Structures are given as structure tokens and as C-alpha cells.
């Protein structure tokens, strides 16, 4: 692993409860990074309608961070369609 490639993305939720930086690599799938978030905020794991947005675009879970055009310092918004 090349430590120079480590990046931090910042998760925020529409309800204001999540405000968390998560370390990852550009080659990680978004699903891997999402799992790191759920390890901290487990109560959000069971929300089946969680949608994540970066720069106004819906994130594809099984694409890598770089394939989703997510870069170091980007904010990722968690939206739950049930709210």
C-alpha cells in the first residue's frame, strides 16, 4: 500500500447526526468505505433507502472511489429516502 494515496472523505447526513471523516484509498470500492462508516454509525446500517451523493451525483456502491470521481477532502452526503 502506498501511504501517499490515502485520502479522507467527509460524510455528513441530512439530519445532522453524521459528521465524520473516513480514511480510504482511491482503489477502495465505495461499499468498503460505506462499511467503515457503519462501523461507527451502526444504527444507519439497516436503513435500506440510504443514498449517497458526492458533488450532486449519486454514488455507485460497487465502483471504486476514483471511478465515482471522489477525491481527497470531498464531502459525501447521506440521504435517506424514508425521511
| Arithmetic mean of pLDDT, 19-34 | 97
| Arithmetic mean of pLDDT, 8-29 | 95
| Arithmetic mean of pLDDT, 42-70 | 94
Q: What is the pLDDT of residue 7?
A: 97
Fold for the domain defined by 3-80: Ubiquitin-like (UB roll) (3.10.20)
pTM passes above 0.85: yes
For the purposes of burial, counting CB atoms within 10 Å of the CB of 80, is it exposed (0-12), middle (13-18) or buried (19 or more)? middle
Tell how strand 7-13 and strand 19-24 pair up: antiparallel
Q: Domain segments of the chain: what residues?
A: 3-80
Amino acid at each position: 500500500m502506498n501511504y501517499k494515496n490515502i485520502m479522507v472523505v467527509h460524510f455528513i447526513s441530512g439530519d445532522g447526526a453524521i459528521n465524520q471523516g473516513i480514511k480510504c484509498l482511491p482503489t477502495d470500492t465505495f461499499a468498503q468505505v460505506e462499511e467503515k462508516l457503519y462501523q461507527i454509525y451502526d444504527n444507519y446500517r439497516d436503513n435500506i433507502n440510504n443514498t449517497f451523493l458526492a458533488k450532486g451525483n449519486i454514488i455507485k456502491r460497487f465502483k471504486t472511489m476514483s471511478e465515482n470521481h471522489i477525491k481527497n477532502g470531498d464531502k459525501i452526503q447521506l440521504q435517506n429516502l424514508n425521511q
